[in-house]
Amino acid sequence: MAIKILKDKCIGCGICFKSCPADAFEFEAYDGNKLGKVAKINAKCTFCNQCLTACKFGAIEEEKIEVADDLDDYKHVWVYAEQRDGKLMNVALELIGEGYRLAKEISEDTQVCAVLVGDGIDHLAEECFAYGAEKVYMIQDPLLKNFTTDGYAKVLVDACYEYKPEIVIYGATHIGRDLAPRVAARMNTGLTADCTRLDVRVSSYIEYADKNTTLDTSTLDPNDPSTGIKQTRPAFGGNLMATIICPRTRPQMSTVRPGVMQKREKVEGATGEIVNVKPAITEADIRTKIVEIVKSAKELVSLTDADIICSGGRGLGDPSGFELIKEFADKVGGVVGSSRAAVDAGWIDHSHQVGQTGTTVKPKIYFACGISGAIQHLAGMQTSDIIVAINKDPDAPIFEVADYGIVGDLYKVIPEIIAEWDNAEALYDASTK
Amino acid sequence: MAFKVLVCAKQVPNTNEIKINPETGTLIRDGVESILNHDDANALEEALALKDKYDDVEVIVVSMGPPQAKDMLLECLAKGADEAILLSDRAVGGSDTWATSNAVTAAIKHYGEFDMIFAGRQAIDGDTAQVGPQIAEKLDLPQVTYVQKFEISEDRKTVTVQRQLEDGYEVIEVPVPCMLTAIKELNTPRYMSIGGIFDAKNKPLHVWSAADVAVDLNTVGLKASPTNVFRSFTPKPKEPGVKIEGDSETDLAKNLLIKLKGKHVI
pLDDT tens digits, A410-420 = 999 999 999 99
Is residue A317 situated within a structural domain? yes
pLDDT along chain A (433 residues), means of 10: 85 89 88 91 83 89 73 94 95 97 96 98 98 98 98 98 97 97 97 96 95 88 93 83 94 92 93 97 97 74 82 95 95 93 92 86 92 90 90 93 94 95 89 80
Residue A378: which of B18, B100, B57, B64 has the closest Cα?
A: B18
Q: Are A139 and A116 in contact (CB under 8 A)?
A: yes
Contact B137 A43 (CB under 8 A): no
Q: Which pLDDT value is given to residue B26?
A: 62
Asked whether residue B121 carries a pLDDT value surpassing 90, the answer given is: yes
DSSP letter, residue A123: T
* 3-state percent breakdown (helix, strand, coil) of chain A, nearest 5: 35, 25, 40
Asked whether residue B237 carries a pLDDT value surpassing 70, the answer given is: no
Spell out the domain ranges in chain B. 3-224, 236-266
Is residue A389 situated within a structural domain? yes
Is residue A298 situated within a structural domain? no
Nearest CA in chain B to A333: B266
Instruction: Measure A277 CA to nearest chain B CA, in Å.
Output: 24
Average pLDDT over residues B100-109: 98
Instruction: Measure A191 CA to nearest chain B CA, in Å.
Output: 7
Average pLDDT over residues B245-251: 93
A160 and A265 fall within a common domain: yes
Contact A237 B124 (CB under 8 A): yes
**Partner-chain residue, chosen from A237, A351, A405, that has the shortest CB–CB distance to B15:** A237
Helices (H), B112-204: 131-138, 194-200
Contacts B10 to A, Cβ<8 Å: none
**Partner-chain residue, chosen from A23, A182, A364, that has the shortest CB–CB distance to B133:** A182
Assign residue A243 the CATH number of its domain. 3.40.50.620
Assign residue A41 the CATH number of its domain. 3.30.70.20
Contact B15 A20 (CB under 8 A): no
A267 and A361 fall within a common domain: no
Q: Which pLDDT value is given to residue B21?
A: 65
Domain count, chain A: 3
Q: Mark which of A14, A41, A62 sits at the end of a domain.
A: A62
DSSP letter, residue A213: B
Tell me which of A120-129, B21-30, B165-174, B230-239 is least confident.
Answer: B21-30
Contact A292 B145 (CB under 8 A): no
A16 and A109 fall within a common domain: no
Contact B222 A2 (CB under 8 A): yes
What share of chain B has pLDDT > 70, as a percent?
93
Is residue A291 situated within a structural domain? no
Contact A182 B232 (CB under 8 A): no
Dihedral sign computed on CA atoms, order A182, A188, A189, A190: positive
pLDDT tens-digit readout, B48-92 = 999 999 999 999 999 999 999 999 999 999 999 999 999 999 999
Asked whether residue B214 carries a pLDDT value surpassing 60, the answer given is: yes
Contacts B166 to A, Cβ<8 Å: 173-174, 351
Q: Are B27 and B20 in contact (CB under 8 A)?
A: yes
CATH fold of the domain at B3-224: Rossmann fold (3.40.50)
Residue A387: which of A369, A371, A365 has the closest Cα?
A: A365
Contact B257 A289 (CB under 8 A): no
A196 and A270 fall within a common domain: yes
**Partner-chain residue, chosen from B229, B241, B253, that has the shortest CB–CB distance to A242:** B229
> How would DSSP label each residue in A315-380?
GG-STTHHHHHHHHHHHHT-EEEE-HHHHHTTSS-GGGBBSTTSB----SEEEEES----HHHHHH
A78 and A54 fall within a common domain: no
CA B35 to chain CA centroid, nearest Å: 10
Residue B4 and residue B177: Cα distance in Å, rounded?
10
Instruction: Measure A154 CA to nearest chain B CA, in Å.
Output: 11
Assign residue A368 the CATH number of its domain. 3.40.50.1220
pLDDT tens-digit readout, B144-156 = 999 999 999 999 9
Strand, helix or coil at B32? coil
- Strand boundaries in chain B, DSSP class E: 3-8, 11-13, 19-20, 27-28, 34-36, 57-64, 83-87, 116-120, 143-152, 158-165, 168-175, 179-182, 205-208, 228-233, 242-243
Is residue A295 situated within a structural domain? no
Q: Which pLDDT value is given to residue A37?
A: 93
Strand, helix or coil at A234? strand
Contacts A400 to B, Cβ<8 Å: 238, 241
ipTM, 2 dp: 0.90
For the ranges A11-25, B100-114, B224-238, the maximum mean pLDDT occurs at: B100-114
The torsion angles phi and psi of A190, rounded to 5 degrees, stand at -85, 150
A258 and A381 fall within a common domain: no
User: Whole-number mean pLDDT of chain B?
Assistant: 92
Contact B241 A421 (CB under 8 A): no
A214 and A264 fall within a common domain: yes
A19 and A115 fall within a common domain: no
Strand, helix or coil at A81? coil
Q: pLDDT higher for B6 or A258? A: B6
Burial A305-316 (b: 16+ CB within 10 A, else e): ebebbbbbbbbb
- Identify the band that residue B263 occupies on the pLDDT scale cut at 50, 70 and 90: confident
pLDDT tens-digit readout, B169-208 = 999 999 999 999 999 889 999 999 999 999 999 999 999 9
Helix A149-163, helix A176-186: angle, nearest 10: 50
Q: pLDDT higher for B127 or A347? A: A347
Instruction: Measure B185 CA to nearest chain A CA, in Å.
Output: 10
| Chain A interface, best mutation among B95, B232, B244, B265, by max A CB count within 10 A | B232
A185 and A308 fall within a common domain: no
Asked whether residue B15 carries a pLDDT value surpassing 90, the answer given is: no
A259 and A385 fall within a common domain: no
A46 and A182 fall within a common domain: no
Average pLDDT over residues B226-235: 89
For A17, the domain range is 3-62
Q: Which pLDDT value is given to residue A306?
A: 82
Residue B60: which of B75, B82, B45 has the closest Cα?
A: B82
The torsion angles phi and psi of B247, rounded to 5 degrees, stand at -85, -20
Q: Which pLDDT value is given to residue A339?
A: 95
A256 and A307 fall within a common domain: no
Nearest CA in chain A to B19: A239
- Identify the band that residue B266 occupies on the pLDDT scale cut at 50, 70 and 90: confident
